[in-house]
Amino acid sequence: MGLKMKIGWKRPAVALGAAAVCILLAGMLLVILREKGKTEMETGIYFKKETGNAFFTNDLGITDIGDPFVLKTETDGYYMYCTSAPNGFYCWKSEDLVNWSGKEMCYVRQPDSWCVDCFWAPEVVFYEGKYYMFYTAKNQQDSLRIGLAVSEKPGGPFLDVKNEPLFDFGYAAIDANVLIDADGKKYLYYSRDCSENVVDGLKKSEIYGVPLSDDLLSVQGEAVKLLTPQQKWEKESGDTQWNEGPEMITHEGKYYLTYSANFFASPSYSLGYAVSDSPLGPFVKAEENPLLTSGIRKDVSGTGHHSFTMSPDGTQLWAVYHSHTNPQAPSGNRKVNIDRAGFTADGKLYINGPVTTMQPVPSGAAAVNITNRFTAMANGEKADLLVDGFFSIYKKHADMDMKLEAENGGTVKVTLEADEELPVYAAAIYPGQGGMKDIYSVSLCVDDRICSEEYIVGEEAVSPLLLSFEPVQAEKIDFVFTMREGTDSLKLSEITILQPAESQNRLGK
């Protein structure tokens, strides 16, 4: 981040045009002029070296796990359950989705239990005052089954409803997920495991769905096959193929069945999704799959088996998933990651990830994301893509970038404007596929009255560019990007604006 510097401006690498000169002079004048009614001299905005609690790094410090599932409770924060112990499951607790504590055993195999080992993929549903844990384990016959345990508290202890697998389809089944639909109907989704499923000579894990009883304790009718490995990216693991880890999410009347594919201990383990008008299909897989993947990156591997949850203030969707703790040596040792998710205007599901650099915290606990309260203009034209919540990670998302031509002597100006003054103390700037290489510096002005120092980006800058400063009231924010010599345009993907959470609480918003 930029260090605190004296008020003023460094000389850019290219000549400043008339508009940039006006901004420069305004910033200098504001240092020495008083506003009417003010008793103190206006000062510039100084960027902090420290990012404070507005940003976090997407390595939450929880390793030796798999298959993370996060439950947001109404009054007690978040609980996370993972594949994590040889005889049951640990759970963790958080108030903000970033800082986790606890690691308490919440389910322990009882003596003479039906389940023996392979305690995998716990998911918890809150229903009619109780917490229902659906989980996978091997039975005495060495076959994988789905069990159900119940607790009065989200942190357990969870106790089996019966001393037998509650859901036994006569074949190996794993990775249970439950949907309680808007009409109150319940559905169970699971993966028929490849250990006992051979299709056309290949071992395959395939995803099924079946209606659940109203009390969640039994299935109603026959299970329906919903997904099987068929897209090219799902077949990178060879003769054994996987569609597993189903997670159902709904949006505007559509059903989004998300899942993992490929071998869990390989770099190719990734997420995909399929869409239907009905909870039991038929489902059509998205052409833009995979939804989340490490691809050819060296710093991350095996992004998969996820769940979804909402930010502390309920305004943002987040994906919680695991990746390999050591990307250079993929194995069953995995760690927890979270990245922002959402839907585009045309109904496509996205996950902004995997992000390994710092990013804004989930909205509501330490900081509040208020980007959606701003409209964007770039060089005098509407720039909705810059404040839609979706920034590009892969080249296939390049159509979400905005290419902006430099003017006024090599600068690009982006203006964000709200309906009222809002307290602002941080911004994150996501470049397009070209990264930060074309940007020499960034500066900002608030309401044409207070301007920042010039932030020199540096040729080795990482994305996103994070700017934090003392809170300032802002109705309009101008970002001025100065190009490097020899460049006449840049690509931007997103600009995120944050306010301190205490400001929201104080204003009652």
Q: What's the Cα-to-Cα distance from 85 to each of 140, 142, 164, rounded to whole Å?
A: 18, 18, 20
Strands 240-251 and 254-261: antiparallel
CA-CA distance, 414 to 495, in Å (whole number)? 10
| 55-360 and 18-54+366-507 share a CATH fold | no
* Four-way CATH pick for 55-360: 3.90.1170.50, 3.50.50.60, 3.40.50.970, 2.115.10.20: 2.115.10.20
234 φ, ψ (degrees, to nearest 5): -85, 0
Going residue by residue through the chain, which has 509 residues, state the pLDDT in tens, using 9 for 90 and above: 332 322 223 333 333 343 333 333 333 323 322 233 333 335 688 888 777 789 999 889 999 999 999 999 999 999 999 999 999 999 999 999 999 998 999 999 999 999 999 999 999 999 999 999 999 999 999 999 999 999 999 999 999 999 999 899 999 999 999 999 999 999 999 999 999 999 999 999 999 999 999 999 999 999 999 999 999 999 999 999 999 999 999 999 999 999 999 999 999 999 999 999 999 999 999 999 999 999 888 999 999 999 999 999 999 999 999 999 999 999 999 999 999 999 998 999 999 999 988 999 999 999 999 999 999 999 888 999 999 998 866 656 666 788 899 987 799 999 999 999 999 999 999 988 777 888 999 999 999 989 998 999 877 667 789 999 999 999 999 999 999 988 888 889 999 999 999 755 433 33
What pLDDT, on a 0 to 100 scale, did the predictor assign at position 23?
32
CA-CA distance, 289 to 201, in Å (whole number)? 25
Q: What's the Cα-to-Cα distance from 234 to each of 35, 113, 303, 322, 341, rounded to whole Å?
A: 62, 36, 13, 18, 21
Q: Are 114 and 147 in contact (CB under 8 A)?
A: yes
CATH superfamily of 18-54+366-507: Galactose-binding domain-like (2.60.120.260)
Residue 276, class by beta-carbon neighbours within 10 Å (0-12 exposed, 13-18 middle, 19+ buried)?
middle
DSSP letters, 75-127, are SS-EEEEEE-BTTEEEEEEESSSS-EEEEEEEEEPPTT-SB-S--EEEEEEEE
CA-CA distance, 342 to 357, in Å (whole number)? 20
Residue 395, class by beta-carbon neighbours within 10 Å (0-12 exposed, 13-18 middle, 19+ buried)?
exposed
What pLDDT, on a 0 to 100 scale, did the predictor assign at position 273?
98
Radius of gyration of the chain, Cα coordinates, nearest whole angstrom: 25
What pLDDT, on a 0 to 100 scale, did the predictor assign at position 401?
83
CA-CA distance, 425 to 467, in Å (whole number)? 8
Give domain limits for the chain.
Answer: 18-54+366-507, 55-360
What pLDDT, on a 0 to 100 scale, did the predictor assign at position 259?
98
Q: What's the Cα-to-Cα distance from 160 to each of 15, 156, 166, 362, rounded to whole Å?
A: 72, 12, 9, 34
**pTM score, whole prediction:** 0.89
Closest among 439, 438, 471, 470 to 455, alpha carbons compared: 439
Closest among 338, 324, 427 to 96, alpha carbons compared: 338
Cβ-count burial 60-74 (b if 16+ within 10 Å, e if not): bebeebbbbbbbbee
First-last CA distance in the chain? 30
CA-CA distance, 302 to 295, in Å (whole number)? 9
